[in-house]
Amino acid sequence: MVLKTFGWSFGVTALGLACAAFFWGWEAFALVAILSVLEISLSFDNAVVNAGVLKKMNAFWQKIFLTIGILIAVFGMRLIFPVVIVAISAGVGPIEAIDVAVDDPDRYEKLVTDAHPAIAAFGGMFLLMIFLDFLFDEREHRWIGWLERPLSRLKVDGLSIGTALVVLLVTAMTLAGSAHQYGGHHADKTSTVLLSGVAGLITYLFVAGLSGHFEEKLEEDEEREHEAEEAAKRAGKQPTAVGLAGKAAFFMFLYLEVLDASFSFDGVIGAFAVTNHIFWMALGLGIGAMYVRSLTVYLVRQGTLDDYVYLEHGAHYAIGALAVILLVTVRYEINEVVTGLVGVCLIAASFWSSVRRNRTIGPDGGGDDTGDGGGQAKEREVTSGV
């Protein structure tokens, strides 16, 4: 199971490290390996959240996620995206931007760093919306019950959007006026942060809205699937449910790609703390992205999210923390080690809470689980004499 799921990741790792050593030497080998570990540590929460979406998709779309999806993740976000940033920031064409990235890495790093406030605002708002929608949603299981229980009862339309816009406004008014730039300089990026943040919010609403719409349509038609198939066979046409399944899967796939893009922002920017060589960054971050993809599929196939019910909670809290960190980095530098540790600690805590819950009430929950890491459930069992 492990070899089948992670086989491609192992192969890409060996090939990538071999290429780094062959073309650029042992220094490149070491830095590519470090960047791979950096990407994995920063994106573990991404794998958990991705698994929650991917488990709704069939084996075909899981393969698409691991093939076409990884090409988009590696070549799109880890190689092309930084070049696009350079092109937009410097007002040059893509070919010239590549020349800058290859021939003048110091200028390339400066352009990407100066564009960081816009990147952080876009990615921070996108991730913040994911966290807020999760936090305000009514769920079967609650990890931090004292917080999640009252928030899930707030049935206010647009509460997530309103909260996110308030956070964006506060960020623009307090942090963007003296945004961090290359070389320790600061500049007023208020309008840039506002525009980029609103763009991130709109992107989330558009992609998540479409994927949610088609998912709901698919669920509504499940009861009629058999009848639709029979009618389609008689008429010689494809059943409606299959068409909807394709649309639903496509938009969920699109949602996963945008989600991955948002998670990759901190990895791409943080990579400059290790090296400003574009191809070394692409290799290291690409290898890390492969493991994140494989881990996502592994979690789905093993049913880990069903067995450890608070794991998804921990990942979403890590997303919320990452969103806040991205917005703070508009003005202040935060070491990527801190970012990675916050996510790892939150997920580790949620995993341990899940283990405790399974020990006390069993893996199936044994009834309604209202949270606080299984502590209240244990108290109910002790009170009832179980």
Whole-Å CA distances, 75 to 37, 69, 284, 349, 356: 18, 10, 12, 33, 41
Dig out the tokens for 178 from the structure.
């003296």
Check if the beta carbon of residue 170 is closer than 8 Å to that of residue 188.
Answer: no
Q: Tens of pLDDT along 120-148?
A: 888 889 889 988 988 888 777 888 878 88
Place of tokens 């399974």: 358
pTM: 0.71
8 Å CB contact between 44 and 295:
yes
Q: CB 139: neighbour CB atoms within 10 A?
A: 15
Three-state DSSP state, 179: strand
Question: What DSSP string describes 52-71?
Answer: HHHTTS-HHHHHHHHTHHHH
Mean pLDDT over residues 59-74, rounded? 77
Higher pLDDT, 72 or 201: 201
> Which of these, 335, 305, 343, lies nearest to 53 by C-alpha position?
305
Per-domain residue ranges of the chain: 2-384
Task: Tell me whether residue 25 is exposed, middle or buried, using C-beta atoms within 10 angstroms of its C-beta: 0 to 12, 13 to 18, 19 or more.
Answer: exposed
DSSP state of 373: T
Contacts of 211 (CB under 8 A, 6+ apart): 248, 251, 252, 254, 255
Tally the residues of the chain. Answer: 386
Structure confidence at residue 347 (pLDDT): 84
Is 141 in contact with 371 (CB distance < 8 Å)?
yes
| Distance from C-alpha of 256 to C-alpha of 23, rounded to nearest angstrom | 33
More reliable by pLDDT, 120 or 218: 120
pLDDT tens-digit series, residues 231-287? 666 666 655 444 445 666 777 777 777 777 766 766 676 666 567 677 888 888 888
Best mean pLDDT range from 62-66, 82-86, 155-159, 167-171: 167-171
Name the band, by pLDDT with cuts 50, 70 and 90, for residue 201: very high
Asked if 107 and 327 touch (Cβ cutoff 8 Å), the reply is no
In the DSSP assignment, the letter for residue 144 is S
**Strand runs labelled E in the chain:** 179-180, 186-187
Whether pLDDT at 44 is above 90: no
CA pair distance 104, 283, nearest whole angstrom: 19
Out of 59-63, 83-87, 119-123, 252-256, the most confident range is 119-123
pLDDT value for 382: 32
329-352: b or e for each residue (b if 16 or more CB lie within 10 Å)?
bbbeeeebeebbebbbebbebbbe
Residue 380 scores a pLDDT above 50: no
Query: What one-character DSSP code corresponds to residue 222?
Result: G
In a 10 Å sphere around its CB, with 0-12 CB exposed, 13-18 middle and 19+ buried, how is residue 287 labelled?
Answer: buried
- Kindly report which listed range (87-91, 171-175, 187-191, 297-301) carries the lowest average pLDDT score: 87-91
Which two three-digit tokens encode residue 247? 């649309």
